[in-house]
Structure formats: structure tokens, C-alpha cells
């Protein structure tokens, strides 16, 4: 068993790599009332093209999400979500661009919930009938998101940023693509990706690592499956796809995203992530001069949301907001960013924001849900979350300024706008 410790925040993670390749992680939280478990698979919506031996396989878009939906249905006729709910357990699952996760949080009945989760994740049951039945449900979900302004705004931003990368495609697929999914496709993807060495389990709470690892191992099947699938990456150019995508929807206030396409060469990913978080907070954070000015003038109604997203072969940052006069607000934001990059960052402001973000990150370790999700998400990116703590303390103003000059170049910028219907 490996133990990784961060002496600054007094946190430890216990890691055991099993003989079959699966990774177990435990973050002990003494006297915590809640327990959290998440089982992740390194398989997401962008993984619809892969190679097995010499065969190239392309499945319909949305299979990873469809698979997640169908995992709960069992051969004995019960639905595992209903079983977990009857135990008083808060259970769920989700699919992202690069991984799928099954999880639950509880105060009692942890062992029973653990047994149920590992049972349904290891024993898929797909039939022609139950796969066909799900198509109507997922079609409604896709159509619901198509009518959701925030989602439409985001997907248009992805289509502006990327020319070829499958992040352009809705995680759930399309109405047409899901019609092509059958039980054989689901089993093929399950058998190729739900493989122990392509999976990890994280538990956080008041656990003894040795005991919980023994407990989990006793419930794992003696799987001999090995990872044969090789994911096929789309070749994505460095430049953006289009500068602007505009749409109209039945909304009360126009919405916008300013996006910047970033490079993702695998180097200094953590440090670069932190630098961009600091830059975004300095530019448009709730304590920034620009935010105060726009709010006091009534040009915006709420705080901007900012994010930096990265994984295999993609990376970008987004600034999202609502404004009566979108063009004026976008111009103000880009003007502020340009000025910040040209004149440099104020040392005092830099230190204040760096400490603020550091504090927020440390606070995440108080939540069993946040810390477990952080570890599973970063595990599939080959990142140790404690690296963020270390980098926060060493990152320099000069490094942040250098990153800003790279990512905020005009050639990297796109706009996604949704206006009011006429």
C-alpha cells in the first residue's frame, strides 16, 4: 500500500494497486458523519472511436452515457438506484467527456450500498427490450437539453472552439445517434472499457484503509479481462474553428460566453490550471473592479461564471454571463484582459487572489464528496491533487503573466451568444 501525504493540510490518501490492475484509494476523515464512495471508469463521451487488436471500431455518439443509464437495471428485475434509495443512500451516476462514475453518499448502511454498487457495475444486463425502452427516455433528455439556454450556449462555444474534437458533440449523443445503439454495442463497449486496469475506486470518510480495502476486494469479481482497447484521438488544429456563433431563444436576458482555446501538451498542467484560475479571478471575479463597475451601472445582474476545462487533446477557459447589452459587456471584458496582459498584474492583487483560491481549494478537503470526486477526476488525468497545494505556494506573478499572454491572444478567442427572440 502506498501512502501520499500533504503535510501542509495534514491530509493523506492511501492507495493500493490490485493484481488485476484496479486502483483503490482511501481518504480517511476521522469523525466524519458521512461516507462517500465513487467508482470511476476511464471511458467518456469522446471515446467513441477505438482500436482492438487490428480492428478499428466506431460506435454511435452517446454510447458512454447510454451505458451509464442501463447499468442500474438488473437481471432479477430490480433497479439498483431504487435499492440504494430504499437503504437511505443518496446514489447517482454521471458521464463526462473523459470518464464515467457511479457513486453514493450515506451516513448508515454503507456496506449494503457498497455491495449493491459493485454488484451492478460488475454485472451488466442488456436485452433488446430494455435497451430499446431507454431510447425514449434519453431522447427526451437530449431534447430537454437542446431547449436549455445554458447548455445551448455552452455547446455552441465548443463548436466555435473546436473543428474536429468530439467535445463538440453532446455527451448524450444526438436523437439520430442513439437510435443506432443496441445491446451488442453496449456489451462491446462495456467489455472493452469496464476493465479493472481502466477503473478506480475512491472512498472518503471515517475509514480504516486496510479494512475498507479488504472489504472492497472481497466483493470484486475475479476478472481476467485486460485492457486491449486503444482510444483513437482526432487531430485537432491549434486554431479555433469559428470566431462567433449566435443563436436566438426564448429568454429574458441575452447570454454570452467568451472562450479561449488553450494548448494541452501535457506539461505543467496543474501549474497552468492555477495560473488561469488566478487570471480569470483578477479579470472578472466578484471582487474585481470591472465586475463592480458593470454591476453598479446595471449592465449585468449577477456574477460571471468562469471555468478552465482540460483533458486529453483539449483545453479551454470560459467566461459566461448575462447582460442587457452583450456587445458593451464583452468589449469591457476583453479591454480589461488586454490591459491586464499589457500592463502586468498588480503584486498585491496577485497575492490576494492566490491566497483566496488556495483557501477555497483547501476547504474542499473538508467535504467527503468534493475530495473523493477530485481524486477520481484527477486520477484519470494522471494528476495527484496534492500537486495543486504545492503549486499554489510556489506559483509566481511572472509565470501567471506569461500564461496570460499565451492563452488570451486574440487568435484564441471565440464568442457564443444567445439573444432574445424577435
Q: What is the DSSP string of 213-236?
A: HHHHHHTS--------EEEPPP--
Beta 199-205 vs 23-28: how paired, if at all? Answer: parallel
> Cell numbers 454510447 correspond to what residue?
63
> Cell numbers 471508469 correspond to what residue?
41
146 φ, ψ (degrees, to nearest 5): -65, -25
Beta 413-420 vs 244-249: how paired, if at all? Answer: parallel
> How many residues does the structure list for the chain?
422
Q: How far apart are the first and last CA of the chain?
A: 63
Beta 199-205 vs 244-249: how paired, if at all? Answer: unpaired
Cα angle for residues 65, 319, 156 (degrees, 5° grid): 50
Asked whether the beta carbons of 134 and 115 are under 8 A apart, the reply is no
- Given the residues 11, 16, 61, 68, the one annotated as active site: 68
108 φ, ψ (degrees, to nearest 5): -130, 170
259 φ, ψ (degrees, to nearest 5): -115, 150
**CB atoms inside a 10 Å sphere around CB 252:** 9
Q: In the chain, count H helices and then E strands.
A: 15, 15
Q: Tell me how far apart the alpha carbons of residues 386 and 396 are, in angstroms, rounded to a whole number.
A: 18
Asked whether the beta carbons of 109 and 61 are under 8 A apart, the reply is no
Active-site residue flag, 234:
no
Cross-strand pairs, 25: 15, 202
Annotated catalytic residues are 68
Amino acid at each position: 500500500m502506498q501512502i501520499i501525504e500533504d503535510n501542509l493540510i495534514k491530509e493523506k490518501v492511501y492507495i493500493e494497486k490490485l493484481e488485476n490492475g484496479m486502483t483503490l484509494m482511501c481518504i480517511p476523515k476521522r469523525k466524519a458523519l458521512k461516507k462517500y464512495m465513487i467508482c470511476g471508469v476511464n471511458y467518456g463521451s469522446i471515446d467513441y472511436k477505438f482500436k482492438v487488436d487490428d480492428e478499428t471500431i466506431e460506435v454511435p455518439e452517446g454510447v458512454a452515457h447510454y451505458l451509464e443509464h442501463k447499468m442500474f437495471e438488473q437481471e432479477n428485475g430490480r433497479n439498483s438506484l431504487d435499492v440504494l434509495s430504499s437503504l437511505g443512500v443518496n446514489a447517482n451516476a454521471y458521464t463526462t467527456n473523459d470518464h464515467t462514475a457511479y457513486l453514493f453518499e450515506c451516513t448508515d448502511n454503507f456496506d449494503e450500498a457498497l455491495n449493491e454498487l459493485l454488484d451492478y457495475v460488475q454485472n451488466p444486463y442488456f436485452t433488446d427490450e430494455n435497451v430499446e425502452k431507454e431510447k425514449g427516455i434519453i431522447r427526451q433528455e437530449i431534447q430537454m437539453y437542446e431547449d436549455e439556454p445554458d447548455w445551448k450556449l455552452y455547446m455552441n462555444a465548443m463548436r466555435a472552439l473546436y473543428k474536429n474534437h468530439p467535445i463538440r458533440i453532446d455527451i448524450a449523443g444526438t436523437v439520430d445517434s442513439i437510435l443506432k445503439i443496441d445491446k451488442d454495442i453496449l456489451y462491446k463497449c462495456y467489455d472493452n472499457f469496464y476493465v479493472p486496469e481502466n477503473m478506480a475506486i475512491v472512498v472518503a470518510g471515517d475509514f480504516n484503509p486496510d479494512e475498507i480495502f479488504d472489504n472492497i476486494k472481497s466483493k470484486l469479481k475475479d476478472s481476467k479481462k485486460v485492457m486491449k482497447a486503444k482510444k483513437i484521438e482526432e487531430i485537432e488544429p491549434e486554431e479555433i474553428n469559428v470566431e462567433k456563433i449566435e443563436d436566438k431563444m426564448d429568454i429574458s436576458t441575452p447570454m454570452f460566453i467568451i472562450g479561449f482555446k488553450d494548448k494541452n501538451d501535457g506539461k505543467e498542467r496543474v501549474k497552468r490550471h492555477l495560473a488561469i484560475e488566478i487570471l480569470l479571478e483578477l479579470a472578472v471575479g466578484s471582487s474585481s473592479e470591472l465586475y463592480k463597475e458593470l454591476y453598479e451601472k446595471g449592465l449585468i445582474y449577477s456574477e460571471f461564471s468562469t471555468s478552465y476545462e482540460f483533458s486529453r487533446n483539449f483545453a479551454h477557459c470560459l467566461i459566461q454571463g448575462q447582460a442587457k447589452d452583450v456587445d458593451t459587456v464583452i468589449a469591457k471584458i476583453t479591454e480589461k484582459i488586454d490591459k491586464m496582459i499589457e500592463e502586468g498584474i498588480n503584486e498585491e492583487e496577485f497575492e490576494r487572489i492566490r491566497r483566496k483560491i488556495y483557501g477555497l481549494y483547501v476547504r474542499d478537503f473538508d467535504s467527503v464528496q468534493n475530495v473523493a470526486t477530485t481524486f477520481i477526476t484527477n486520477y484519470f488525468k494522471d494528476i495527484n491533487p496534492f500537486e495543486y497545494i504545492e503549486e499554489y505556494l510556489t506559483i509566481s506573478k511572472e509565470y501567471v503573466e506569461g500564461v496570460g499572454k499565451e492563452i488570451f491572444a486574440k487568435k484564441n478567442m471565440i464568442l457564443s451568444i444567445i439573444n432574445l427572440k424577435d
